[in-house]
Structure 1
Amino acid sequence: MKKLLVLTAFILALVIANSNNASAQTARKKADRIENRVDRREDVRDRKENRRDRREDVRDKREDVRDAKHDGGRRDKIEDRLDKREDVRDKREDVRDRKENRRDRREDRRDRKNGI
């Protein structure tokens, strides 16, 4: 009789644990669904912001072009482009100079090592 009572209590405990486990799983699923909904809403919000930003960028570019046509801003753009090209040339020249300096230092070290 004791064995039957213990066995019944054990089975009852298993059933309760199993139902709690099932309810925990459903709760997890619901939480995941809610989280996914929130993520989707955030994504939609982000996309709207990106569209708004792009529209503003396009509007700004149009305005810049319009201004350039009216107040000779094209010259400024051309000058900016030329300045960028000049900066690139200067950087290349600096790199070349550094390479030459390294080469010279190596040669100097080699000469000192060889006793020249």
Structure 2
Amino acid sequence: MKTNRFVKTLFFGGFFFLGFASLNTAEAQRRQPYDRIENRFDRREDVKDRREDVRDRREDIRDRREDVRDARHHGGILDRIEDIYDRREDVRDRKEDVRDRREDIRDRREDRRDRRF
């Protein structure tokens, strides 16, 4: 008796499992063309995302390079060096101006002397 019950339970369980599996398989086969289309769209989106990531990485690299340049130029090392050279040049120009003024004064004196004699 117990054996018959066990066999019946096994038979009904197997039957329900088979029905459930076949329904799932049929549903999966019915959905397959749509899955292909969705996969196609997903792949396109993945490609677009990868390209966008590459673009973003390149932009980040460019931005970092610009930041380095800006740090050197705007208030950075190169600006300080240029300021030093500009100051030295200004000092040279001032010394030349003083020299020129002294020479002009000498020339005027000599011209006056020459006019007297």
Compute the TM-score of the two structures, normalised by the length of structure 2. Answer: 0.49
Choose 1 or 2 for highest CA Rg: 2
